[in-house]
Amino acid sequence: MADKVLTMDSVNPNIVQMEYAVRGPIVARATELEKELANGANKPFTSVMKANIGDCHATGQTPITFIRQVLSVCAYPEMLETCNFPQDVKDRAKRLLGGCKGGSIGSYSASPGIDVIREDIAKYISERDGTPSKPEDIMLCTGASDGIKTILAMLMTGKLGKERAGILIPVPQYPLYSATLTEFNAYPIPYYLDEENHWGLDVKELKRALNEAKPNCVPRAICVINPGNPTGQVLTRQNIEDVIKFAKQEKLMVLADEVYQHNIWGEGCKFFSFKKVLSEMGPDYNTMELASFMSASKGFMGECGSRGGYAEIVNLLPDVKACLMKSISAKLCPPIVGQIVMDCITNPPKPGDPSYELFKKEKDNVLALLKKKAGMVTSLFNSIEGIKCNEVQGAMYAFPQIFLPQGAVEEANKRNQTPDAFYCFQLLETTGICVLDSRTRVISMSSKNGTTRFLKEGTIPYQKNGDDASSVVVSTFNDIV
């Protein structure tokens, strides 16, 4: 190995330490089981259900016709003359192709995205919030994840040790945040959501987390996921105002992960964007730096593979915004297909358009089914002895807690495994359901046709006061049809 530049001793140590919750010994064992089954091995199951990612269409959700028709015509413009698609589909494709260089989606766009799509997104936000949004504040990105990483990169200090950037992130959390902070050698500042209060966000907890972290880093921003992933809570407007006031007091940028804004299930729950609330709080607050993120992957559309998303970034200083544009220019542009999907989401068919009735029917059907399942999953978990679960108020996840019997804990200790890892391995070997251990205590489940799957969702331990090692937490990926 002396002739190798990259070894485990020389490769970037931040990459070595980074975890993104979709690899590890349990997944490796699942792959081995697949090979054993293919070779005729006799198992208690006939196939392995892997759950290493949350993927709506992979679990059976049907694509929205309008989105796919517009994509089809944009990809093959000859269909403008040959297909019998509705006229509004063709008109939309013509408009979008007109924004593409050479009239082709195979061309590069401007780094922040196609102008007409940025205009449509700004109009969507303005109508949603009742407050103006500007196209120049919109940045298309390769899924919300790319936008989040781009803004996090801007927040880094470029220094080490106690001068590293610190970022407040929720626990339980979506693993992108902890993984990215490890990759960037930043300092994660975990704040714990209140399970006993519907996974609420307590400002006292934010202050505790920040005060403990200040000696170790330079706090720069707070990330909030609303509706919650994987906890399924929906923040009240008052809660959002409290977070904004806290961020203002502590001089923190707000990063609002709002990709589940279409998925509101709880009685009396309502989605309020951070942009809307901040804009309405008056001059002391509406100049604060804010980045909010939206994705094509969830909601009612579930177009994960299109890699579509956007970020709205407001109130940056002009020279800082120029640095942001310089940063994204190095990536050339986000996928045109994903940009087109985002346009269809933010500028859907209107009443009277030929595609409207079918679009509305398909959207309503997906959302109604998800709402029904949110209730079913919550009720089912709470009906089982040893499982406790809060109401799923929004998003596509539940977050039940499973209490393992003492015998299982003792057996796990004998095998030098954590109780949750032991549980996951046993589940895999006896049912073929691939689950990942939850030292993070965040696992996601999706079911279809009687099968079940789990997905580890984080990399920071979730430990409630008074909990012991005999408990494991799971979250339910509820996007199935």
The pLDDT confidence band at residue 471, using thresholds 50, 70 and 90, is very low
Q: How confident is the model at residue 468 (pLDDT cuts 50, 70, 90)?
A: very low
CATH code of the domain in which 314 resides: 3.40.640.10
> In this structure, is the dihedral angle defined by the CA atoms of residues 408, 414, 419 and 421, taken in order, positive or negative?
negative
pLDDT tens for each residue of 176-228: 888 889 888 899 999 999 988 889 899 999 999 999 999 999 999 999 999 99
Task: Report the pLDDT value the prediction gives residue 56, as an integer from 0 to 100.
Answer: 78
**Do 241 and 308 share a structural domain?**
yes
Distances (CA, A) of 310 to 104, 296, 344: 21, 9, 13
More confident residue, 82 or 479: 82
Residue 388 and residue 305 share a domain: no
Looking at residue 444, its pLDDT comes to 31
pLDDT for 253 equals: 95
CA 294 remoteness from chain centre: 9
Residue ranges in 85-174 assigned as alpha helix (H): 87-98, 115-129, 143-155
Higher pLDDT, 67 or 171: 67
First to last CA, the chain: 51
Does the residue 305 lie in any domain? yes
95 belongs to a structural domain: no
- Please choose, from the candidates 154, 188, 186, the residue with its C-alpha nearest in 3D space to the C-alpha of residue 173: 188
pLDDT score for 206: 96
Residues 225 and 337 in one domain: yes
What is the domain-level CATH number for residue 44? 3.90.1150.10
Q: Do 337 and 423 reside in the same domain of the chain?
A: no
pTM for the model stands at 0.84
436 pLDDT above the threshold of 50: yes
State how many domains the chain has: 2
Q: Closest Cα partner for 187 from 200, 204, 169?
A: 169
Question: Domain ends where: 346, 370, 398?
Answer: 346
Q: Are 264 and 289 contained in the same domain?
A: yes
pLDDT-derived band at 16, boundaries 50, 70, 90 = low
pLDDT category of residue 481 using cuts at 50, 70 and 90: very low
- Predicted confidence band of residue 401 (pLDDT cuts 50, 70, 90): confident
Contacts of 1 (CB under 8 A, 6+ apart): 7
347 pLDDT band, cuts 50/70/90, is very high
User: What whole-number percentage of the chain has pLDDT above 70?
Assistant: 85
Domain boundary among 346, 371, 395: 346
Q: Clarify whether residues 335 and 366 are in a common domain.
A: no
Which of 96-110, 303-317, 388-402, 437-451 is predicted least confidently?
A: 437-451
Query: What range defines the domain where residue 288 resides?
Result: 107-346
**Residue 183 and residue 331 in one domain:** yes
| 299-312: pLDDT as tens digits | 889 888 889 999 99
Would residue 254 count as lying in a domain? Answer: yes
C-alpha to C-alpha distance for 122 and 466, rounded to whole angstroms: 47
Domain endpoint, select from 290, 322, 346: 346
Domain co-membership, 379 together with 230: no
Contact (Cβ atoms closer than 8 angstroms) between residue 337 and residue 271: no
Lowest-pLDDT choice from 96-105, 238-247, 287-296, 412-421: 412-421
User: Does residue 134 lie within any of the structural domains?
Assistant: yes
Pick from 395, 364, 443, 444: which is nearest to 266 by CA? 395
- Where residue 7 falls among pLDDT bands split at 50, 70, 90? low
Choose between 454 and 270: higher pLDDT. 270
**Cβ atoms within 10 Å, residue 375:** 13
Phi, psi of 293 (to 5 degrees): -130, 140
- 213 and 338 part of one domain: yes
Least confident among 13-17, 213-217, 272-276, 285-289: 13-17
Q: Are residues 340 and 369 in the same domain?
A: no
Which residue(s) pair with 295 in the sheet?
A: 309
Average pLDDT over all residues of the chain:
84
Question: For residue 327, is it within any domain?
Answer: yes
Any domain includes 410: yes
What are 106-150's pLDDT values in tens digits?
A: 999 999 999 999 999 999 999 999 999 999 999 999 989 899 999
More confident call, 246 vs 450: 246
Judge whether residue 449 has pLDDT over 60.
Answer: no
State both tokens at 96.
């979008």
* DSSP reduced 3-state for 401: strand
Q: Based on the fold, state whether residues 240 and 304 are members of the same structural domain.
A: yes
pLDDT value, residue 234 = 94
Residue 202 belongs to a domain? yes
In the DSSP assignment, the letter for residue 200 is: B
pLDDT tens readout for residues 49-105: 775 556 778 777 889 999 999 999 999 999 999 889 999 999 999 999 999 999 999
| Residue 477 clears pLDDT 80, i.e. is over it | no
Q: What are phi and psi of 191, to 5 degrees?
A: -115, 135
Residues 337 and 367 both lie in one domain: no
In a domain, 203, yes or no: yes
What is the percent of the chain where pLDDT is above 90? 57
Q: Is the separation of the CB atoms in 214 and 250 below 8 Å?
A: no
